[in-house]
Chains A and B, each alone.
Chain A
Amino acid sequence: MTSLAAREPGAKKLGLVIDLDTCVGCHACAVACKEWNTGGHPGPLADYDPYGRHPDGVWLNRVHTYEAGQGAAGRTVHFPRSCLHCDEPACVSVCPTGASYKRAEDGIVLVNADLCIGCKLCSWACPYGAREFDEDDGVMKKCTLCIDRIYNETLPEAERVPACVAVCPAHARHFGDLGDPTSEISRLVQSRGGFDLMPEMGYRPVNKYLPPRQSTCSAPALAEPEVPAGSAAERLLGWLDRALSR
């Protein structure tokens, strides 16, 4: 049923917290996601022309890189983007068949591939571009929060986290219950000022992003290298300049 169930305050909301301060932009989370999920719940994830001139395919996690701020205050920020498992997921309510659903027990947004008709409307309804259509299967694919890992009792308990979280070498990805204000991950959001993406859209994302910290060290500005006037080096550079300008 694509109508959203009323959720009690404090109900379980599993999700991710992504630390934009420590993310190094290595894309390991994207690759681990693709690797796990192509053999997991939403798999296989199509690859088109994988070794050809225009490789393309379905990925459930994509890492962008931005420059935020300008001049000396500007910094590079790596930005992983995946499903935010929103509290108001219009991708679910627009689905005409009931293929898209949000689980009442943990808030995870999933697609039932046996019901999906491939109308793509859910991908239009997602402001974040979290859903990617699989041309080979003709159904929509999305992040499952690795439901086949986090509840998987055949895995050692420490590995029962999403593949992207397990692989992250910078520990920039955290997994937990964001519905519980006392959980470790909720306290992390609280202490670091975690924020929502595009709050103005009203989708109320569950996943949070932690802002880059203020820089604490300031390197001195680099001075222009000085070449003494009339020196051999200056004459050599002058001759080079003239020779190359001809």
Chain B
Amino acid sequence: MSPALSVIFFTTVSGAGYGLLMLTGLLAPFRLAPASPWFGLAAVLFALALASAGLVSSTLHLSHPERAWRAVSQWRSSWLSREGLAALLTYPPAFAFLAAWFRAGRPDAAMAACGVLAAAAALGTVFCTAMIYASLRPVRQWSNAAVVPNFLLLAGFSGALWLCFLARVFHAGWVVPSALAMLFGSAGLAGKLAYWRLIDQRPGESTIETATGLGRLGRVRALDPPHTEENYLLREMGFRIARKHASRLRALALLVGFALPVVLIAAGFALPAVPALVLAIVAAVAALVGIFVERWLFFAEATHTVVLYYGRAA
């Protein structure tokens, strides 16, 4: 599948934003993150800024962005529609969470209720994003059980890293965010390895024989394509990446996106506040870069059954 930068940027950046909002909403009420409402302001606004930047980018990917408002109408059947709706429904509880936090000046029950609601909406948005891909049967690298956990873990991981950085800035409550970042990072790394093993081993259900129905005559070989030039189908769904490049990018994503941030956050436990703060921002940025590469691969390595008609493997 063609790796469209706007969609990769959207899922990476908004994933981090929703992860940050989710963890702030769940940890702050229980004083597992800094308790100051000013920390809340920084965390929630930064989370919403990341999420909104991603949403704007994904809207620009549309050919008719002026009609984007229509996309929330079909939530009964469409995961894309549900994603848009969940994204919009995240704003009110997020702002209510912030307002309740400032009114009490510290975590209280009202703030906790709004925080949990905002976290649920953020989690729901990332879940819907993942389901858009996981529900597409023609793409075997997407329609499998590893995709949704991967999206959720990576959102939690990048969100935890930004939460850790902000907690370091406020010089309080960084222990639980750091531990969570390391936990999500390790789980994300394991999940990504499992995902790659799955897509490398499991062959596609469909073949050129089932695509043409000509398997009854024996092996099928494509002789002549219908057109001499690349067309929309091959540009959009026939993207190919060399195995050599893919394995290098996988290693890069694992090292920069997962191993390095986990090590940096672990080192932060043993360091004074300022170096630990520097390591925390390096870790958060490295994870974004690594997840961007991982997400690019998620598209580039995905194959669509339409290429079977052109005699290629899917």
Contact = CB atoms under 8 A, between A and B. Distances in A.
Interface in A115-136: 115-121, 123-129, 132-133, 135
Given A76-B223, A201-B137, A124 B237 contact: yes
* A contact patch SS: loop
B217 A64 contact: no
A95 B78 contact: yes
A123 B236 contact: yes
Interface residues of A, number: 68
Interface residues of B, number: 59
A94 to B, nearest CB: 5
A226 interface: no
Contacts of A77: 212, 214, 217
B209 to A, nearest CB: 8
A63 B70 CA distance: 35
A155 interface: no
B228 to A, nearest CB: 8
Contacts, number: 202
Interface stretch (B21-29, B58-66, B105-113): B58-66
A211 B214 CA distance: 7
A200 B305 CA distance: 12
Nearest to A80: B226
Given A75-B217, A121-B132, A123-B236, A2 B222 contact: no
Contact of A124 (B1, B71, B212, B225): B1
Contact of A119 (B62, B77, B211): B62
Contacts of B76: 1-3
Nearest to B138: A127
Interface string A40-77: 00000000000000111111001111111110011111
* B contact patch SS: mixed
A195 B309 contact: no
A97 B74 contact: yes
A198 B206 contact: yes
Contacts of A2: 74, 76-78
B135 interface: yes
B78 A127 contact: no
A92 B1 CA distance: 20
A36 interface: no
Contact of B223 (A67, A70, A126): A67
A128 B74 contact: no
B305 A127 contact: yes
Contact of B219 (A70, A81, A90, A128): A70
A129 B80 CA distance: 20
Nearest to A20: B214
Interface string A90-125: 101111111100000000000000011111110111
A138 B63 CA distance: 5
B201 interface: no
A199 interface: yes
Interface of B: 1, 61-65, 67-68, 70-74, 76-81, 84, 132, 135-139, 205-206, 208, 210-214, 216-233, 236-237, 304-306, 309-310
The 5 lowest CB-CB distance pairs between A and B, nearest first, are A118-B63, A138-B63, A129-B306, A69-B218, A62-B226
Interface of A: 1-4, 20, 27, 30, 54-59, 62-70, 73-77, 79, 81, 90, 92-99, 115-121, 123-129, 132-133, 135, 138-139, 195-202, 209, 211-212
